[in-house]
Amino acid sequence: MVRNGEKQRRDRRRRGVVGNGGDAYQQGREMQEGRRWRKVREVAEGQKMRESSRTQLNIMDVEQNMSLEEKVQTLESEIQRLYKENENLSFSLGVINNNYRSLLQACLQEKQIQETSRAAASTSPKSGSSEEYSNKRAQNEVAKAKVSRVLKRADPGDLSLVVKDGFHWRKYGQKITKDNPSPRAYFKCSMFPDCPVKKKVQRSVEDKSILVVTYEGEHNHAVPGAPNFSIMVDSATTNYLNSSSSTVNPFQPDTNLGLAFPPAHESSRRPNCHDSMEDNNNGIEEYVASLTRDRNFTAALAASVARSLVTLSHSTQM
DNA sequence: CGGGTTTGACCGGCGC
DNA sequence: GCGCCGGTCAAACCCG
């Protein structure tokens, strides 16, 4: 299609349009995160005290009954056993989490399609293409459900819109939008030829040091260079690991059992956006290790999984 | 030379 | 039908 000169001139004129916009999103997220971190801190501190008192009792027993050599051997074997138990639990948790998430997503999509079909049928029963229309609407809603937004702290002096999240992206466009003087960059995932994921990156109107990253779609390949377990954690946790900043996806089921948080020794402060990814990974591993040492936690985990499975089986029967 | 970035042009949805 | 605007295309360019 060939466009006339006037339209082309308009296109050129409108580049660089400046406007105003508001973003209350950041403030709301920070309040919500603050409450969440306080709760996690309380739980972690309580558990640390329980662990400490248990350890003291164990040491007294050992001192009374065993020689030093035996003590070392016992402790070493105990460490080995706990290490293996920790590994097994981490693996099991990942598998359960992955399976549970897939099941929930499938159920959610099915329900959404059913509901939109029912609603469309009841509102426009005479329309010949009502089924087609409702299917299209359902597809659109499912597609919308796969959109997530992540806020990342960036150096204000750095004008590039590059966000390192482990994937390879090819920039295919940049645009000035009406509601934000900063340009918006458009990226496609270039790791896999037919990966449908796109992302948009734009600086926040209110705080230019914050990059608003909008992801659309889901990767049809694995996270590059990540260990097996981290592939299996849900995307909310992955987002936390990648960005250590605010993230939101209202359609993402919360199946991480509230575990993806920093260890007790770091809990006196809320992690900020400058924390490195390595710090977060080490912290989470330490925290998982301390949790798996706690038999109460293991029992609670088993009970939680059992409850989830019961709930799931009830919902799928409905 | 291959892969990524830049940027002007084009497309299509939406509101009036 | 027209204008506005976000999203995408693709040629030119850059860089290791």
Nucleotide nearest to A3 (CA to C1'): B10
Pairing mode, if any, of strands A198-203 and A147-153? unpaired
**Distance between CA atoms of residues A236 and A255, nearest Å:** 9
pLDDT of A93 reads 58
Q: What is the mean pLDDT of each run of 10 residues along chain A (318 residues)?
A: 39 36 32 39 46 49 63 80 67 54 56 52 39 41 61 72 80 87 88 81 84 83 50 36 37 32 33 36 47 56 57 49
Nucleic chain C contacts, Cβ below 7 Å: A 6, 10-11, 14, 17, 172-173, 175, 177-179, 184, 186, 198, 200
Residue nearest B3 (alpha carbon to C1'): A170
Q: Which of A7, A91, A54 is nearest to A296 (CA)?
A: A54
pLDDT of A104 reads 60
Residue nearest B11 (alpha carbon to C1'): A1
Chain C bases near protein Cβ (<7 Å) = 3-10
* Domains of chain A listed by start with CATH number: 141-317 (2.20.25.80)
pLDDT of A33 reads 38
| Coil/strand/helix, residue A171 | strand
Distance A21 CA to B8 C1' (A): 27
pTM given for the model: 0.42
pLDDT of A215 reads 87
Rounded to 5 degrees, what are φ and ψ at A171? -75, 130
pLDDT of A297 reads 55
